[in-house]
Structure 1
Amino acid sequence: MVSDRGGRWGFVCKSRQRVYAALRRKGMSKSRAARISNEGRTRAARSAMSRKASRTRQVRGRNRH
């Protein structure tokens, strides 16, 4: 489990550590995985992230499969 101590040990919310671990398994860097997992602490924040991702995909012209 990743530390939730903060400071030089880094910080990831307790409730989001499973997300952090999944991102790390996909090969993402520690800092980037922590930033993404901490960003979606609340349901509202996760919804905003999904809306932004949807817009990004539309702009780049990706099709749904």
Structure 2
Amino acid sequence: MVSNKGGKFGFVYRSRQSVYRALRRKGMPKSRAARISNEGVTRAGRSAMGRKAARTRQRRGR
């Protein structure tokens, strides 16, 4: 199970732990996976991530 203890043990919100695990399966470092998964806890955070992803895709010509 993903740690939700905090401090040196790291922290990922319970509702976002499946996202964290998926990112880890793709080979992402723990700190980066936690940062991304925790960003999407609120709807505003998910919307911001979607807008950023759209900009990235557009810039790369996809």
**Larger Rg belongs to:** 1
Number of matched pairs: 62
CA deviation map 1:11-64 (0-9, x unaligned): 0011100100000011101001000000111112101100111011101212xx
Q: Please, which runs of 5 or more residues in structure 1 have no aligned partner?
A: none
Give the TM-score normalised by structure 1.
0.90
Q: Distance in 1 between matches of 2:19 and 2:8?
A: 21
Structure 1 segments of 4 or more deviating over 6 A? none
Q: Distance in 2 between matches of 1:59 and 1:24?
A: 26
Q: Please, which runs of 5 or more residues in structure 2 have no aligned partner?
A: none
Give the TM-score normalised by structure 2.
0.94
